[in-house]
């Protein structure tokens, strides 16, 4: 069964790309031309940490969702190409999606995300 990303039980992405290695996490969505609406890149950190997201060499805006260990949303942000930057603390997962996803699915802090990350 393919992994599915859900928010409060509702499917929001069926095309999930996991980023677990330092190289893959450093590259993220850099050098791509765009991402489909049902695509998400999920960064899985080894332990909850302070994180910084930058948009160098990312040519399109994205929505970023920050999760704690329980996969609860602790932060949401829209980042602009090239100049976007956001830092957060105590983050275990970072989800990058097409700009507009936060509004489309009414994502909010405290909401519960669901996905298999094994």
State the pTM of this model.
0.93
For residues 83-99, average pLDDT:
95
The 10s digit of each residue's pLDDT in 14-42 is 999 999 999 999 889 999 999 999 999 99
**What are the extents of the domains in the chain?**
5-114
Q: What is the mean pLDDT of residues 51-79?
A: 96
Residue 58 has pLDDT above 80, yes or no: yes
Q: How far is CA 110 from the centre of its chain?
A: 15
Superfamily of domain 5-114: Protein of unknown function DUF192 (2.60.120.1140)
């Amino acid at each position: 069964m393919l992994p599915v990303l859900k928010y409060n039980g509702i499917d929001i992405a069926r095309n999930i790309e996991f980023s677990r290695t330092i190289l893959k996490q450093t590259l993220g969505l850099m050098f791509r031309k765009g991402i489909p609406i049902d695509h998400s890149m999920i960064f899985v950190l080894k332990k909850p940490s302070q994180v910084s997201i930058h948009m160098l060499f990312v040519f399109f805006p994205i929505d970023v969702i920050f999760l704690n260990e329980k996969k609860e949303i602790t932060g949401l942000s829209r980042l602009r190409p090239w100049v976007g930057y956001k830092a957060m603390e105590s983050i275990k997962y970072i989800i990058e999606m097409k700009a507009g996803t936060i509004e489309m699915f009414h994502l909010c802090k405290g909401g519960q995300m669901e996905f298999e990350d094994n």
